[in-house]
Structure 1
């Protein structure tokens, strides 16, 4: 069965939109953490978490992309599966740092 080009376009647009939202959240997190570091307000656990979350998210994203690929997902859905953990974490971090 052929993929409908319009469906694929909509799927890629959703991936692009999700990516853009993730980048907005990531920018906010970088800004807020930089301000914390510059002012001396960053705690040790926050600094350690900031470093450790990278490896954890990378592993989760890789796993989800691999599972999607193994299930026969198209490239857009594989990409979306890989981006989801990053998006979730950056949005969570932004909310936490606003508080």
Structure 2
């Protein structure tokens, strides 16, 4: 990435757009899981998986951000690296829960 302010703004806007998609997916996942819990449709293994995925994704995101930082990536790339595992998982959860 260059130090051109317009390029930096464009790169941060891509990160912001990805973050917005992730938060929309997360909101849908929360709503669908709440409906499952309220209706008694969530199994014990589902609930445990729901809890365990948080720690796993946090560890993966932290590792990816650390690797990006250690390799000299700029703040945009470090942020994108940390966000990617969360985005991937929330989109995967939405697809799974929509079935």
- Scaled to the shorter chain, the TM-score interval is over 0.9
Structure 1: distance between partners of 2:23 and 2:81: 16
RMSD (Å), alpha carbons: 1.2
State the alpha-carbon separation in 1 of the partners of residues 32 and 57 from structure 2: 20
Q: Which residue number in structure 2 is paired with residue 74 of structure 1?
A: 74
The TM-score, its normalising length taken from structure 1, stands at 0.96
Report the 3-state secondary structure (helix = DSSP H, G, I; strand = E; otherwise coil) of the residue aligned with 1:42. coil
Aligned partners of 1:65, 1:2: CA distance in 2, in Å? 20
C-alpha separation in 1, matches of 2:36 and 2:73: 41
Unaligned runs of 5+ in 1: none
2:65–2:78 CA contact under 8 A, matched in 1:
yes
Residue of structure 2 equivalent to 1:61: 61
Q: Distance in 2 between matches of 1:7 and 1:70?
A: 23
Q: Number of matched residues?
A: 99
Question: Structure 1: which 4+ aligned runs deviate by more than 3 Å?
Answer: none
Deviation for aligned residue 1:76? 1.0
CA distance in 1, matches of 2:78, 2:67: 8
CA displacement 1:48-98 (0-9 Å, x = unmatched): 100000000000000000011011111111001000000000000010000
Structure 1 counterpart of 2:20: 20
Aligned: 1:41 with 2:41 = yes
Q: Which runs of 5+ in 2 are unaligned?
A: none
